[in-house]
Chains A and B, each alone.
Chain A
Amino acid sequence: MTSSEKSFLAKHFSHVYVEKAVLSHPVTIKILENLRSSQIVKIDNYKEVFCRAGQNYSLQEKSKKLILAKKWGEFLYPAPSICHNFGYDNFFYTSNILNCIYSCEYCFLKGMYSSANVVIFVNIEDYFKEIDAVLGNMPLYLSVSYETDLLALEKIVPFSSAWIEYAASKQNLTIEIRTKSTNFKALENLKPQDNVILAWTLSPQEIIEKFEHGTPSLSSRLSAIKKATENGWKVRLCFDPILYIEDWKMVYEKFLNQVFGEMNPDKIVDISVGVFRIPKDYLKRMKKAFANEITSFPYEESQNICTYSKELKEEMINTILLILGNFVPSSKIFVI
């Protein structure tokens, strides 16, 4: 974004919409302390703002607003079949933040919601209570950064730390915090936990520049990962989604060589690989809001999932696996 664009757009979180029910919640108070110059607008229910008709997602991305709310009802959801379960049974996800501060063109959130604004459910204690009850009956593998990038928002609300501290006392719980953020510093003072996996999504720098707007560069992500492994954290690398671009073979080969040129593969717990895929309905909505190379690609549809043709998908996966084979044993690689 150029400086002239910045000069007339309101900055991100210029407005914070707060449900009246959580105005005095300690997490709300903490967040608002960090956003003293923002306009506070009181609301009855987050859906009044988040689910309004007439929102323009792509313009809202230029000036995202924050909504603070209380989560009611369900706190855990079974993970969809298009996600890796990494061999774990009882794979669930939870969302105490909806939407992300990054603007990746391929992100399914753009098809899931009608708003680019970020919702934080401040009552994290209710999530913990619900999980406590579930853990009494079964072990749980939980993705806690499913509809957002928790670590990227750590300065606004330290939920990654809160989840890690919670998980530390739970033997039959494993959590995955997936991120593109380089904000490992926020976790540096925490003790690494065996049941916490920090998962970094990595893409070639060409893809980052073209499609992952606002995200950190590949080299800075790699630096953060190195620090995390050096500090004893379990780290997963996610080469997902792999995107088709004209010279994808060359770009991804160079990329994987760079990653493992800088990173010791033995320090990595496992790796996930998957090509771009998205539910048909989400793609339809994304196309309405965004006209770009991702949404306009002629995907094939099967069982309500849109992805590349079988031949192209196989070629892409096989190529990536062949290169990865130079660095990592196949037992560490999960493909979807």
Chain B
Amino acid sequence: MIYIVAAFHAEAKPLIEHFGLKKLYEPSKFQIFSGNDILLIESKEGIEKSSIATTFALTKFGAGSKDIALNIGICGAVENAFSKGDVILCNKIINHHSKKAFYPDILIQHSMKEATLESFMHPVKKDSLPVEIEGDIVDMEGAGFFEAASIFLPLHNVHCIKIVYDFLDFEKINPVEIESMIKQSIPHIENLINSLLKLNLEFYNNTPEIDNIPLLVNKLKNSLHLTAYMTNELESLLKDYIIRHKKLPDSIFEFFEVQINSKKEGKNYFDKLRKILLS
């Protein structure tokens, strides 16, 4: 699953349309859209709201280690090194207020510029820019999103993508312009998503036999009346055996049908099984 967190509907709308997402009508405090293995949540403005929405989405929909989380939205550029509409992948994200810094793992190639993002709790204008600012770009969500998402997902699967909207001298935000800028950035976002999916697919351990281990262990736990300690040991032994031999031991199936009448009998069967799995 790809989780996208956007603050405003103007930022979300082009993504909803492009990926063919449909509104979820489950009771929730958030606007959520889903489809094609993508879930988009609108967090509203601010570090805290972004953090809450991210946590809600990743827990409610059961995020796993191969899932991806992206925060997509507009930002202001501190430096004139950027142009309006530049799509930026953040390589460092700072919470201006807590001074905490976060570092996504950028393991794949991408077509975006890179920069340090600094997140504030309030809008930042050029004339009120703090002297100690380190970010090249500023926003109001990235740090909240990243801190929350990185609790649930590995760091290579959590990224902030920001599109330069202004140079901290804005007067009023124009939703139509934002929609258009997000729309133009979609090829870069799609490219990143595809590379991340490929990375997770190709290099994570995808052994089907290993995926079946919990099922096997549960069956053996019941048939042999195993203690919690024995169950843990069995799980580890089974995994090791499959990695070494690329298959299950043929004799394991006999153990599924065993009838146990005493604790001692169960232990004897377990010892026999352990011996097989250590070979």
**In the complex, are the beta carbons of A9 and B105 less than 8 A apart?**
no
> For residue B107, which residue of chain A has the nearest CB?
A63
Q: In the complex the two chains form, is B240's CB within 8 Å of A9's CB?
A: no
Task: Name A292's closest neighbour in chain B (CB-CB).
Answer: B243
Given contact pairs A52-B155, A291-B210, A5 touches B202 in the complex (Cβ within 8 A): yes
Render B145-171 as a binary contact track against A, CB cut-off 8 A, 1 for contact: 000001101111000000000000000
- The interface stretch among A25-33, A43-51, A79-87, A89-97 is A43-51
**What is the 8 Å Cβ interface bit string for chain B, positions 127-152, against chain A (1 contact, 0 not)?**
00000001000000000000000110
With A5-B202, A62-B203 as known contacts, state yes or no: A56 contacts B156, CB within 8 Å: yes
B114 within 8 A of A: yes
Q: How many A-B residue pairs have CB under 8 A?
A: 88
B contact residues around A44 at 8 Å (CB) = 101
Judge whether B205 is part of the interface by a CB distance below 8 angstroms.
yes
The reply to whether the CB of A214 lies closer than 8 angstroms to some CB of chain B is no
Q: Is A172 an interface residue (CB 8 A)?
A: no
Chain B hits for A15, CB < 8 A: 91, 106
The 8 Å CB contact of A43, one of B101, B105, B155, B278, is: B101
* Distance between Cα atoms of A297 and B240 in the complex (Å): 7
Q: What is the CA–CA distance of A114 and B131 in the complex, to the nearest angstrom? A: 35
Does B244 have its Cβ within 8 Å of any Cβ on chain A? yes
Q: Is B96 an interface residue (CB 8 A)?
A: no
Alpha-carbon distance A8/B199, docked complex (angstroms): 8
With A41-B103, A291-B239: A10-B108 Cβ-Cβ less than 8 Å: yes
Q: Does any Cβ of A come within 8 Å of B109's Cβ?
A: yes
Tell me if A14 is interfacial: C-beta within 8 Å of chain B: yes
Of A8, A9, A10, A41, which contacts B92 at CB under 8 A?
Answer: A41
CB-nearest residue of chain B to A290: B205
Closest to B204 in A: A59
Pick the residue among B106, B154, B241, B244 that contacts A55 (CB under 8 A): B154
* B-chain residues with CB within 8 Å of residue A232 when the two chains form the complex: none
Residues A8 and B156 in contact, CB atoms below 8 Å apart: no
Query: Given the interface contacts A54-B154, A59-B156, does A10 sit within 8 Å of B107 by beta carbon?
Result: yes
Pair A293/B243 contact, Cβ less than 8 Å: yes
Residues of A within 8 A of B218 (CB): none
Interface residues of A in 58-77 (CB under 8 A from B): 58-60, 62-63, 65
Closest beta carbon of chain B to A137's beta carbon, Å: 41
Q: Tell me if B199 and A9 are in contact (CB < 8 A).
A: yes
The verdict on A9 contacting B154 (CB below 8 Å), with A293-B244, A297-B244 known, is no
Q: Cβ of A34 < 8 Å from any Cβ of B?
A: no
How distant is the Cα of A252 from the Cα of B185 in the complex, in angstroms? 56
Instruction: Decide if A63 touches B101 in the complex (CB within 8 Å).
Output: no
| Any B CB within 8 A of the CB of A106 | no
Query: Given the complex, which residues of A lie within 8 Å of B156, measured CB to CB?
Result: 56, 59-60
Residue contact A41 to B116, C-beta cutoff 8 Å: yes
> B139 to nearest A CB, angstroms?
18
Q: What residue in chain B is nearest A293 (Cβ atoms)?
A: B244
Q: Are A48 and B107 in contact (CB under 8 A)?
A: no
30 pairs, CB–CB < 8 Å, chain A vs chain B:
A5-B202, A8-B108, A8-B199, A9-B109, A9-B199, A10-B107, A14-B106, A39-B91, A39-B106, A41-B116, A42-B134, A43-B103, A49-B103, A52-B155, A54-B150, A54-B153, A54-B155, A55-B105, A55-B154, A56-B155, A59-B105, A59-B107, A59-B156, A59-B204, A62-B107, A65-B105, A295-B240, A296-B239, A296-B243, A297-B240
Q: In the A-B complex, list the 7 residue pairs whose CB atoms are closest, starting with the nearest.
A: A296-B240, A296-B243, A63-B107, A54-B155, A298-B278, A56-B154, A8-B195
- Give 4 new A-B contacts, CB below 8 A, not counting A65-B105, A296-B239, A296-B243: A52-B155, A56-B105, A62-B107, A63-B107
B positions within 8 Å CB-CB of A? 91-92, 101, 103, 105-109, 114, 116, 134, 150-151, 153-156, 195, 198-199, 202-205, 207, 210, 239-241, 243-244, 278
